[in-house]
Structure 1
Amino acid sequence: MEGMSEEVHSGTVPMKDTCEHQAECLKKIQAILDGGATEEEKEHFKLNMDICRPCIEMYKLEKCIKEALQGKIEKKCCPEKVATAIRSQIVS
């Protein structure tokens, strides 16, 4: 099969070396890491990660980037005056 390596992962299924749905997979990975994925999306991704090397690598990279950014961001409370001004503009 094209795109499959000779290496066997999980005992039975050959590991894919290419991903035909990379853009969609990236969106799912980001949703999973951001906590916005459905249980169905999480389960589908878990199954896919067992056989798709590009998705595994993309997940590791996205997770690493998110963790690095979270460590660099200083969290501050928004002044109530600013929050009120934003709310009033949204409502208007």
Structure 2
Amino acid sequence: RYAVDEDFAIVFITEPCFIANQDYIRSLRSRKLPAVIPIPPISGGSGLGMAQVRESVRKAIGMDILGIDDTRDSGQPENSASSESKE
């Protein structure tokens, strides 16, 4: 709540904290700021943070530019190596 009262633009919180405060965070969605971004805890995340970032980007520009095209033949994301270099 401090971040909201002090007009922070972006607030990063761990996924467990985000989940525990979902009702309050949901109430902030009608405001332009702050953008509340969940990040994975040190023990590993659930993917919630990336899902929230994708949704925020989709809302901002009207399309999902962070999505993975699942229709490619390789089934691999564009930036991942599908095979080792053979020499």
Which of the pair has the greater relative contact order for Cα pairs under 8 Å at 6+ separation?
Answer: 1
Q: Which has the larger radius of gyration?
A: 1
So what's the TM-score if we normalise by structure 2? 0.31
